[in-house]
Structure 1
Amino acid sequence: MASLRVRAGELRAREQLTFRRGHQGGPAQTYEGRLTALAVVGAPRQRQAMAGDIVKVWGVPGIRVGDHLGEPEPTGRAGFTPPGLETVVRPRVPGQEPRLHAALLALAKQDPLIGTRTLPGGQTSVLLYGEVQKEVIGETLARDFGVEAEFEPSRPVCFERPSGTGEAAEEIRRQGRNDFMATVGLRVEPAAPGSGVRYRLGVDLGSLPLAYHRAIEESVRLALGAGPRGWPVTDVVITLTRTGYVAPVTVAADFRGRAPIVLMSALRQAGTTVYEPCHRFELEVPLETFSAVAARLAALGGELRDTVLRDDTWVIEGEIPAGAVHEFERLLPDLSHGEGVWWSEPSGDRPLR
């Protein structure tokens, strides 16, 4: 069973429907489904859902939180903010690493708010929105999968954006050794914040067999997972500017090996800036604690955007790095004599300082 909100049109049971699942930095995945039953919340006798209704549906076992039904979402439509924290997770009992990894992958498939990735060395990290999520994931792993987990201290998930335009190419040498029998040229350009990764062709589609085109694009997207500064690269337009191969010597592996090298050269030429995730916060503290609270916020990298005095209470609004939120929450009771009220939510990013 899943819950949907109908924003336009009508929805009936037994209709063949198209669902879309977005992927950051890549095209949306589509899949088909047919509802076996539906129930409109607040109107159980209603047999079809209209715009504005919230409806429970059955019959699509592969549906996940965040999936979209119908036509593609308009560009720029708000979605889930990417997680701002990351922690390495290990099994409490040595030897259960494969079991833990499989359990985390299963959780990630069920819930898009849970993300995982494999770090160099084979460790598994979990992407988080906050420290409370650690407790929820830990309890779920123990209860549903029989694996007790330990989490390392969280760190912010930074990323890189290109600072300018860069272009690089490597060609097949007519003389001497060729590590890869493939010619690849790439240009990288900045894209609008939040647009992700866009890959496009600056050469004729027929300049290469389709398998070679796929090999280049797949290896480029994979290589963007670690930019020149070690963080994922996003909000970038990648253009394939040059290609070449020698039949029947060249194979797809040649393009998979050469494309990441050319991409890194182009990124280094363009330059990249590292950004850190931030939270917008609102804070209420007693009048006499303002100085201590403001000083601690500044020490943790926070910025005050607005301050309002209401009776004997300061209302403070501002922005703070996601990695400092938990530390400030821990310090607030002492700083505010136990009277502070704190609220925060993910709000974007800023250049790492």
Structure 2
Amino acid sequence: MNNLNDNDGCCGIRNVAIVGPYASGKTTLLESLLFVTGAISRKGRVQDNNTVGDHSQEARDRQMSVEVSVASTEYGGLRFNFLDCPGSIELVQETWNALVGVDAAVIVCEPDLDRVLTLAPLFKGLDDWKIPHVVLINKVDRVNQTQLLDVLRAMQKVSSRPLVPQQFPVRRGDEVVGYIDLVTEQAYHYHGGAPADPVSLPEELRDAEQAARAELLEALADFDDRLLEELLEDVEPSQDEIWTDLKWELKADLIVPVVLGLVDQDYGVRPLLDVLVREAPSPQATADRRGVGETAPGETAPPSPEQQVVAQVLKTYGLPQVGKVSLVRLWQGELGEGVLLNGLRPGGIYHLMGSHMEPVQRAVAGDIVALSRLDGVKTGETLAVAWGCVDPLPQMETLPPVYGLAIAPENRKDEVKLSAALNKVLAEDPALGWEQQGDTHEVILWGQGEIHLQINLDRLRRKYNLSLTTHTPHIAYKETIRKAQTKVHGRYKHQTGGHGQFGDVYLDLEPLPRGTGFSFGEKIVGGSVPRQYIPGVETGVRESLHRGPLGFPVVDLAVTLTDGSYHGVDSSEQAFKQAARLAMQEGMQGANPVLLEPVLAVTVAVPNDFTAKVLRLLTGRRGQILGYDVRADWQGWDQVSAYVPQAEMQDLIVELRSLTLGVGSFAWKLDHLQEVPEKLADRVLAMEVEV
């Protein structure tokens, strides 16, 4: 085994994220962790809306985590900062952003074969970032031993790291009454409200326990030549040696320990804490792995004390009466009152306990704290005293939007504060986005799904007194012509009693290849239209493109001014602009106008078990399949490429997730315009007339 320099003794802090699928028991686990360690005297329940986590009104209305909740406790001589992360696939950006700053993660899952696949993106993300993680199989009483083994085998298929169970369940009939520690081979019986009692190992389980322990040792021996030699020579390794291997291999993200529990009854929670105390890497080990604090190339000395503070924003909150609060991981140095970060002085330093903020005078390297009033600082941003002298730390990529709603204030007087309020909720939730759509003039709120958007609409209403109406965004249809028109005539003549208005033009109209846009030219000979009036002709032509005969902007068209006439007194640029508009109106009507729709290039990522279903889904939405291939670096996943009309995209993510147990995803970009099928075009135009 490699001899790593372990600095675990230098810092008594462990930062642990609690992650897992929706409804797996994450918030209940946090409540149990706080209760059994004495951080809270009474254990709350999600259904009673009295837990430390899920304290926001948006979370309690839905009885689900909607943002990262932070709470701290002490156990085994260590201070634990637990970050309870949302499980909904629509809120996964919150989880990814928080994971950047932790030392380890606990994946909470149920022993349900049908839901194992939902763990795949989580395993992949943790593995890619080399974040050590432990699996807690919750609600273990729902399956027997055979079913539990089936679940473990299925989980192994979605994890690139070997899963290493450290416990074996003890049952009495269908009831789970305890466990066997596979390292010490000590059996325990659970007791409500107290640590499990050591008991004799049941004889009827000895063979099964021995087989499970042998698998544990073999998994560890894959990374430890000395242990492998001992096993080959039938030498029984010591408990200290096994624990050392578990600690080193978890720290190096080589294995994934697995423990069991019933967290609603606090069963398995203390053993989980024991695993984290013994095996979770320290903040310094995490900082070393990330390269924080290393001397830059070419430098021979470490940074000066005033340059040593380095932190990173994991989450931004907008709290009533407090304002903006930034949750940060302090990677290096000590943070005290009066210290400037990126040129800003925090209003205060706090430890969070759910919604409660406890002021502290200083924070040390490795801690996770909240800083108030860091205006302008974004989630993921690197903070330092020597601003500009520190390389930005890596941060999670922002997920592309997959679902949008058009929004408008219920009260028109609130339009002036819409953009400011939207930018504030975007600061809290980077997975959110908004835009002013140029063609439809709608404000589109973008996110990861309908629930994601509804949560933020609730925030806008509660925090900023901004109630919004929503509807499905309109499609930015365009139109063009199929047939060329020559010598289209437009004459504008208006007499007012003084100087009149006169302009006379002849235009040629020609369709252009798709995606070309618009071009204007002139072929005037002999001064039939004076040069000073030609800009007015072009202006009139361009203005007429804003709304064609079908009611939509006109594209892919070439217009050429070929002839005309003028009056020496009554002609003007304005008159020629009006003449051009009249000519365009006549010419477009006779040029066989056709409706165009935007088509997106869509890339769908799914487990290959669902590829056939996704192909049918896309073709059923008028999609053109371009091909599919293996998804790079994702074992057992495919990537499907297709062109899909934007009109078919609104609820694609809903159906895709329904088909793929919630793990399917896609990215898109606008690619081209294409003609709308005739029957569909008739329906679109009929709706336009009604509007």
Q: TM-score range by the shorter chain?
A: 0.5 to 0.7
Q: 2:472 aligns with which of 137, 149, 153?
A: 153
Report if aligned partners of 1:302, 1:319 keep a CA contact under 8 Å in 2: yes
CA distance in 1, matches of 2:520, 2:469: 38
Does the alignment pair 1:132 with 2:450? no
C-alpha separation in 1, matches of 2:665 and 2:490? 57
1:347 CA displacement: 2.1
Q: Secondary structure at the match of 1:283?
A: strand
Report if the CA contact (8 A) 1:186-1:240 is conserved: yes
1:252 and 1:116, CA in 2 relative to 1: closer, same or farther beyond 3 A? Answer: farther
How far does residue 205 in structure 1 lie from its aligned partner after superposition?
8.2
Does the CA-based 8 Å contact 1:87-1:125 persist in structure 2?
no
What SS does the corresponding residue of 1:259 show, helix, strand or coil? Answer: helix
Q: 2:410 aligns with which of 92, 95, 119?
A: 92
Give how far 1:262 is off. 0.9
Structure 1 residue 118, shift from structure 2 partner: 8.1
Correspondence for 2:660: 336
Other structure's SS at 2:483 match: coil
Q: Is the 8 A contact 1:187 1:239 kept in 2?
A: yes
Alpha-carbon deviation of 1:220? Answer: 0.8
Aligned counterpart in structure 2 of residue 321 of structure 1, from 637, 645, 650: 645
Q: Secondary structure at the match of 1:226?
A: coil
**Corresponding position of 1:219:** 540
Residue 591 of structure 2 corresponds to residue 270 of structure 1:
yes
In structure 2, relative to structure 1, the CA distance for the partners of 1:102 and 1:172 (3 Å cut) is same
Report the secondary structure of 2:412's partner residue.
coil
Question: Equivalent residue of 2:507, what SS?
Answer: strand
Output the CA distance in 2 between the equivalents of 1:169 and 1:102.
46
Q: CA deviation at 1:169?
A: 0.7
CA distance, structure 1, for counterparts of residue 604 and residue 419 of structure 2: 40
1:224-263 aligned at under 5 Å gives the runs 224-263=545-584
Counterpart residue identity of residue 675, structure 2: P
2:619 equivalent in structure 1: 298
Alignment of 1:345 with 2:662, yes or no, is no
Residue in structure 2 matching 1:169, options 483, 486, 489: 489
- Give the distance between the partners of 1:181 and 1:229, measured in 2 at CA: 29
In structure 2, the partner of 1:66 is: none
CA distance in 2, matches of 1:294, 1:147: 41
1:196 aligns with 2:517: yes
CA distance in 2, matches of 1:271, 1:303: 26
Residue 308 of structure 1: how far off its partner (Å): 4.5
Whether the 8 Å CA contact 1:182–1:244 is kept in 2: the answer is yes
Unaligned runs of 5+ in 2: 1-295, 297-402, 421-433, 494-499, 678-691
Q: How many residues align?
A: 245
Return closer, same or farther for 1:343/1:89 CA change in 2, 3 Å cut-off: closer
What SS does structure 2 have at the residue aligned with 1:182?
strand
Taking a change above 3 Å as real, the CA distance of residues 159 and 93 of structure 1, as seen in their structure-2 partners, is same
Q: CA deviation at 1:216?
A: 1.5
Is the Cα–Cα contact under 8 Å of residues 520 and 558 in structure 2 kept in the other structure?
A: yes
Higher strand share: 1
Q: Tell me which amino acid in the other structure corresponds to 2:625.
A: L
Task: Give the Cα separation in 2 of the matches to 1:347 and 1:303.
Answer: 13
Scaled by the length of structure 1, the TM-score of the pair is: 0.57
Distance 1:307 1:162, change over 3 A: same
**Alpha carbons of structure 1 residues 332 and 87: separation in structure 2 relative to 1, 3 Å:** closer
* TM-score calculated relative to the size of structure 2: 0.31
User: Is there any run of 5+ residues in structure 1 with no aligned partner, and where?
Assistant: 1-41, 43-84, 104-112, 174-178
Contact 1:275 1:352 in 2 (8 A): yes
How big is the shift at 1:294?
3.1
- Gap change, CA 1:217 and 1:114, over 3 Å in 2: farther
Matched, 1:182 2:484: no
Larger radius of gyration: 2
Provide closer, same or farther for how the CA distance between residues 268 and 238 of structure 1 changes in structure 2, counting only shifts above 3 A: same
CA distance change for structure 1 residues 282 and 87 in 2, over 3 Å: closer, same or farther? closer
Task: For residues 173-202 of structure 1, give each alpha carbon's deviation from its aligned partner in whole angstroms, at most 9, with x where no partner exists.
Answer: 9xxxxx963211111112233332111112
Deviation larger for 327-336 or 284-293: 284-293
Deviation at 1:324, TM superposition (A): 2.6
Give deviations 1:74-128, integer Å, cap 9, x for gaps. xxxxxxxxxxx9976533323355x47999xxxxxxxxx9555587xxxx434x6
Residue 45 of structure 1 is matched in structure 2 by: none
Greater helix share, 1 or 2? 2
Structure 1 letter corresponding to 2:569: P
Look up the SS of the partner of 1:131 in the other structure: strand
Matched letter for residue 90 of structure 1: A
AA matched with 1:157: A
Shift of 1:225: 1.1
Query: Distance between the aligned counterparts of 1:272 and 1:348, measured in 2?
Result: 18
The percent identity for this pair of structures is: 19
**1:165 CA displacement:** 1.0
Distance 1:187 1:138 in 2: 50
CA 1:89–1:208: 2 relative to 1, 3 Å: farther
Amino acid at match of 2:544: A
Cα deviation digits, residues 2-61 of structure 1 (max 9, x gap): xxxxxxxxxxxxxxxxxxxxxxxxxxxxxxxxxxxxxxxx9xxxxxxxxxxxxxxxxxxx
